[in-house]
C-alpha cells in the first residue's frame, strides 16, 4: 500500500500531464529512490522535498510542460496534507542528507 502523499502526487500527474498511470507512478518512484525513500512510507513533508528538488528533473526528462507550475501546485497540496496530520518522521534536512550521500 502506498502513502497518501505518494498517491496525491501520482494522481496529480495522471490528471494534469497526460502521463499514463504506470508512467506517473514510475516517475515518482524514481524520484523517491533517488532520495532514499519508499512509496509506502513517504510523508507529505518528505514528498515536498522530493517534489521541489528531484521530481522536476524527472518530469523534464519526459518533456512535461509547465514543470514548475505542477511542482508548485503539488508543494501547496502536500503542505496542506502535512498540516492535516500526515506522517512527518523526517525533516527536509534529513532527506537532503540522504540525497547528498547518494
* CB neighbours of residue 43 within 10 Å: 22
Taking residues 80-94, what's their average pLDDT?
68
Helix, strand, coil shares of the chain, percent, nearest 5, are 70, 0, 30
17-29 tens-digit pLDDT:
999 999 999 999 9
| Average of per-residue pLDDT values in the chain | 89
Give the confidence band of 87 by pLDDT, cuts at 50, 70, 90: very low
* pLDDT of the residue at 84: 85
Taking residues 67-83, what's their average pLDDT?
95
Cβ(39)–Cβ(6) under 8 Å? yes
Residue 102 has pLDDT above 70, yes or no: no
Domain that holds residue 35: 4-101
pTM score of the predicted model:
0.82
Q: How many domains does the chain have?
A: 1
Tell which phi-psi region holds residue 95, choosing left (phi > 0), alpha (psi between -120 and 50) or beta: alpha
All three cell numbers of 101, joined, read 550521500
Amino acid at each position: 500500500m502506498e502513502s497518501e502523499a505518494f498517491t496525491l502526487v501520482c494522481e496529480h500527474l495522471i490528471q494534469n500531464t497526460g502521463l499514463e498511470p504506470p508512467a506517473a507512478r514510475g516517475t515518482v518512484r524514481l524520484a523517491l529512490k533517488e532520495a532514499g525513500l519508499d512509496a509506502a512510507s513517504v510523508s507529505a513533508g518528505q514528498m515536498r522535498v522530493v517534489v521541489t528538488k528531484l521530481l522536476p528533473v524527472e518530469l523534464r526528462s519526459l518533456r512535461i510542460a509547465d514543470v514548475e507550475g505542477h511542482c508548485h501546485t503539488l508543494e501547496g497540496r502536500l503542505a496542506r496534507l502535512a498540516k492535516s496530520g500526515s506522517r512527518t518522521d523526517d525533516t527536509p534536512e534529513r532527506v537532503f542528507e540522504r540525497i547528498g550521500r547518494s
